[in-house]
Amino acid sequence: MPKKRNWVVWGAALFIAWHGLLLLFLWSRPSSSSSSSSSSLTAEVIRLAQDAETELERQKDLLQQIHRYSHLWAQRRGAPGTPKPPPQAPSPPPPLLPEPSGAVLPVLVMACDRSTVRRCLDKLLRYRPSAQRFPVIVSQDCGHAETARVIASYGDAVAHIRQPDLAEIPVPPEHRKFQGYYKIARHYRWALAQVFHAFHYRAAIVVEDDLEVAPDFFEYFQAAFPLLLADPSLWCVSAWNDNGKEQMVDVAQAELLYRTDFFPGLGWLLLAELWDELEPKWPRAFWDDWMRQPEQRRGRSCIRPEVSRTMTFGRKGVSHGQFFDQYLKFIKLNDRFVPFTQLDLSYLKKDEYERSFLAKVYAAPEVRVEELQGNRRRELGTVRLQYSGRDSFKAFAKALGLMDDLKSGVPRAGYRGIVSFVYRGRRVYLAPPSDWTGYDPSWS
């Protein structure tokens, strides 16, 4: 109450002062009998009165603003007796939206010492439909000055955060040549913690600085996000097909999506709940192969496309070009926009997918690998090549140009042991027997 009384007194004093000045002006003017002087004096009085009224209105507005801001300041400082408004939930920038269709999906770009990150960022910024819904966060490790300058050149278009711990990591003697993998795992842990704990995002799309994205990259993830939310048997959505070489995919079916038991990475979407699960046990190195272990996968699958929505252009890296010259540089990047958000993707839900996909696979006629290589029995259309164990899988995969490595017994791009691909223009399913009972981790 004392504060409020002070404001009233101050306003009254101001009012009296203005009117006092007005009267003083009038009294100090010399008298004149002429009509022109009288009319000029009247006009002057009217003008002064109007000016005084305008100024009083300004002062009134100023008083109200001062009173309002002093009230808020008192609230912040916890002034006694000041009523507090109901608490509001914190809103990290940009605000999260409640509906999946309008959710904010940040893109976390993992960068280190590649100044070619510009190629990655240029395509992300060119194709993203909304800066608010798809903010780009570049997390940089390594402290590489040239890469930092490239990232900074984008200004407010991207957020640039820096991994603060650049110290060498103690590793076992036999792992000295793998020091880079330890640093990558440390960087991932820090960056994902920033996205989910510091920025409080609901989900995030992770890409590396040597990935180029397709025109419908954002459309794809936006459409798949509700699936990830609704189906607990899914734990990620990936933009990558490990067997996505141009001659091994059907570019006319760019809208085709699959479930896969193999964690693909290379442009992938995860939920905050998954990070809460993984963070406490995050590995010191080789994080992607760790993700492929049964203890982490826990029987869950990812969504992956027929035609990749990312491609890698980075031969240089800690893997020293492993797989790049043989496989990765030949991956076909989708170049046709697919309106995924307008398509019905419910066929990817586990029960429906297994019912339709398994029926399709095991209804396909079986052929021998020699018949495929000789391009025989073309009249059969889609066919199935059956393997019986680890050695036969690897032999068939190598013979047909597939990636033949297994992680905890899971083939790349495989679902229930089945790998779908195109060979010499026709669909082929490399599949185990129909009574398949699960993966054998000893196949790695």
Q: How far apart are the C-alpha atoms of 201 and 93, rounded to whole Å?
A: 9
Residue by residue, DSSP assigns 306-338 as SSBSEEE----STTTTTTTTTTGGGBPBP-S--
Structure tokens at 427: 């669909």
Residue 315, judged by CB atoms within 10 A of its CB (0-12, 13-18, 19+), counts as: middle
CA 175-181-182 angle, to 5 degrees, is 75
Q: How far is CA 218 from CA 151, 213, 221, 256, 335, in A?
A: 21, 9, 5, 16, 13
Which stretches does DSSP call E strand in 196-275? 203-208, 211-213, 234-238, 257-260, 268-271
In sequence order, what are the residues at sequence separation of 6 or more whose Cβ sits closer than 8 angstroms to the Cβ of residue 393?
Answer: 387, 404, 406, 411, 430, 443
In sequence order, what are the residues at sequence separation of 6 or more whose Cβ sits closer than 8 angstroms to the Cβ of residue 145?
Answer: none
Cis peptide, bond prior to residue 94, ω within 30 of zero: yes
What is the layout of strands, in order, in the sheet containing 159-162?
A: 159-162, 136-140, 107-111, 203-208, 268-271, 234-238, 301-305, 257-260
Residue by residue, DSSP assigns 423-443 as ETTEEEEEE--TT-----GGG
Which residues are marked as active site? 288
Structure tokens at 196: 């989910």
Pairing of strands 310-312, 159-162: unpaired
Q: How far apart are the C-alpha atoms of 401 and 332, rounded to whole Å?
A: 15
Q: How far apart are the C-alpha atoms of 98 and 403, rounded to whole Å?
A: 40
